[in-house]
Amino acid sequence: MARLVLPSKTLAFSRKSLLGLISPAPLQINYFQKISKSSVRYRHFLSSKVILRKNCCAFYSSVPAVKKTSRNLICSVATEDLAKQVEEPKMAMPTEIFLKDYKKPDYYFDTVDLKFLLGEEKTIVSSKIAVFPRTEGSAPPLVLDGLDMILVSVKINGKALKEEDYHVDARHLIIRSPPTGKYDLEIVTEIFPQKNTSLEGLYKSSGNFCTQCEAEGFRKITYYQDRPDIMAKYTVHIEGDKSLYPVLLSNGNLVEEGDLEGGKHYAIWEDPFKKPCYLFALVAGQLQSRDDIFTTRSGRRVSLRIWTPADDVPKTAHAMYSLKAAMEWDEDVFGLEYDLDLFNIVAVPDFNMGAMENKSLNIFNSKLVLASPETASDADYAAILGVIGHEYFHNWTGNRVTCRDWFQLSLKEGLTVFRDQEFSSDMGSRTVKRIGDVSKLRNYQFPQDAGPMAHPVRPHSYIKMDNFYTGKLLYF
Ligand SMILES: [Zn+2]
């Protein structure tokens, strides 16, 4: 995950000092296309290139964060003007979560079928979850997280629950006495992406629907056990107006699409791999793509698409090069091959998290993807290479092998940062890359560790996990 794009001018290692060291962009791309499959040959390649990552890792540490003990954090992400049913409850006090209190969930989810009816006033979300208990025969209450939504209906095995069968408040839906054994849980909710200014969960900005679910945004989409150790296979059905939202994207492979009455259309996406809900993604809007093909070492042809507003498509050539280079490098150096038929990247200007590694649907802020030879510096090209690689490498370190809980955030981020640093080192100058990373370490992490924002790599507790997305955990 990458967050909050900041200009690189704040780096001690000024980009101005790099001018003249690196070849012009078109030439750079031609160089890149000659990459050998030998990992050794990556080293010293473009030896004069300076790699300055502009991803979450590099810059987040300079963003003001709130001290972890603050009791006011929850309020900072409240949305505005929602219907009365979803207003913040008077008694909602933030809860401190402790590592020592970790317990395995009482229930696991096998499959999740989601249906989104995208609307201009509200979006209706239907979920059908195959639930099974961790311990056969036990049936404690099922506690689901949910925030800023209206509950429309709850069914178990096709039968609507009575009001006394469940409890709903502003943060939870609790099924009081679920059946023993496996059952299907169906929930319908209404959410309001147009009013979601927290930019967590599903939100609409500049005409496009977009999601951000790490760390705990999925609970703003539907009621769910919003924790990383709940891994399920997702199928996602999206319906929306075809003229307003001609592109409908989610995780996995596109298995069906078609037109509907009333100027609408639909798409069905299926992700065959289990994933935690923080990796769920949906994008709908007016986007166009740069398309390419990558053939894996086992011969799988993977369609690559980088989606942007139409005017930005010409600026995605280097991002596409970077993605293909990352896929090849991960095969050569780590033996890791991409595992689906399609890999999508979306780059939109309204994504304020920097970049996010949603399974097969990475979402970026445009600043981390777009470059044109007329305006981009060499440092811009290097930064795009690094951050495209970082999010792609998460496909294995973070996505397929994921965290048990958020106290393990540094495992997925630290390992993936190591991998993207190796990638950038192999593609450019290892020495210069290391100098740049140490420079950032000294300029960002050292001051953080010396001040009130200091925290352990693995915190013992948190109130709002978002406050731990600092350079300390993510990038060094
Ligand atoms: Zn990351």
**Residue 94 binned pLDDT confidence (cut-offs 50, 70, 90):** confident
Q: Is residue 240 scored above 60 in pLDDT?
A: yes
Alpha helix stretches (DSSP H) within 292-445: 317-334, 378-393, 409-427, 430-440
Residue 229 Cα to ligand 1 midpoint, Å, equals 18
Report the pLDDT value the prediction gives residue 90, as an integer from 0 to 100. Answer: 54
DSSP 298: T
How confident is the model at residue 45, as a pLDDT? 34
| pLDDT tens, residue by residue, 388-407 | 999 999 999 999 999 999 99
Are 223 and 151 in contact by the 8 Å Cβ rule? The answer is yes
The answer, yes or no, to whether residue 228 has pLDDT greater than 80, is: yes
Please name the helix (run of DSSP H) or strand (run of DSSP E) that holds residue 116, with its range, or none: strand 107-117
Host H or E run for residue 364? strand 361-365
Q: What is the mean pLDDT of residues 298-305?
A: 98
pLDDT at 173 over 60: yes
Give me the helix-helix angle, 378-393 and 25-32, nearest 10°: 40
- Ligand 1: centre distance to CA 149 (Å): 29
Measure 57 CA to ligand 1 centroid, in angstroms. 7
Q: How many CB atoms lie within 10 A of CB 152?
A: 12
State how far the Cα of 344 lies from the Cα of 288, in Å rounded to an integer: 12
Strands 361-365, 342-348: pairing is parallel
pLDDT of 5 > 60? The answer is no
| Mean pLDDT on 180-189 | 97
Predicted local distance difference test score (pLDDT) of residue 65: 35
Q: Check residues 288 and 34 and name the one with the higher pLDDT.
A: 288
Exactly one of 239, 391, 413, 422 is catalytic; name it: 391
The whole-number pLDDT of residue 43 equals 40
Mean pLDDT for 198-202 is 95
Residue with the bigger pLDDT between 73 and 150: it is: 150
d(CA 24, ligand 1 centre) in Å: 29
Ligand 1 mean position to 387 CA, how many Å? 9
**Ligand 1: distance of its center to the CA of 347 in Å?**
16
Q: What is the average pLDDT across 235-242?
A: 98
| Contacting residues for 188 by C-beta, under 8 A, at least 6 apart | 124, 125, 126, 127, 151, 152, 153
391 is known as an active-site residue: yes
pLDDT at 305: 98
Task: Find the 413 Cα to ligand 1 centroid distance in Å.
Answer: 5
Assess whether pLDDT exceeds 80 at residue 353.
Answer: yes
Q: Which residue has the higher pLDDT, 429 or 75?
A: 429
List the single range of 12-16, 361-365, 462-466 with lowest mean pLDDT: 12-16
- Taking every pair of Cα atoms in the chain, the longest distance, rounded to a whole number of angstroms, is 71
113, 152 Cβ separation under 8 angstroms? no
Question: What's the gap in Å between 214 CA and the centre of ligand 1?
Answer: 11
Q: Which domains does the chain have, with CATH numbers?
A: 8-67+287-474 (1.10.390.10), 97-280 (2.60.40.1730)
> Is pLDDT above 60 for 50?
no
Distance 144 CA to ligand 1 centre (A): 27
Res. 69: pLDDT tops 60: no
Ligand 1 centroid, distance to 421 Cα (angstroms): 12
Task: Provide the mean pLDDT of the chain.
Answer: 85
For residue 448, pLDDT beyond 60: yes
Span from the CA of 200 to the centroid of ligand 1 (angstroms) = 17
Using one digit for the tens of pLDDT, what is the confidence trace for 109-131? Answer: 999 999 999 999 999 999 999 99
Distance (Å) from CA 226 to ligand 1 centroid: 19
Q: For 31-46, what is each residue's pLDDT tens digit? A: 334 334 444 444 433 3
Ion ligand 1, residues whose Cβ is below 5 A away: 1, 413
Instruction: Give the residue with greater pLDDT, 297 vs 467.
Output: 297
Strand order in the sheet with 208-212: 201-205, 208-212, 282-285, 247-250
Q: Give pLDDT, residue 48.
A: 31
CA of 321 to the centre of ligand 1 (A): 20
Least confident of 12-26, 76-90, 129-143: 12-26
Distance 328 CA to ligand 1 centre (A): 19
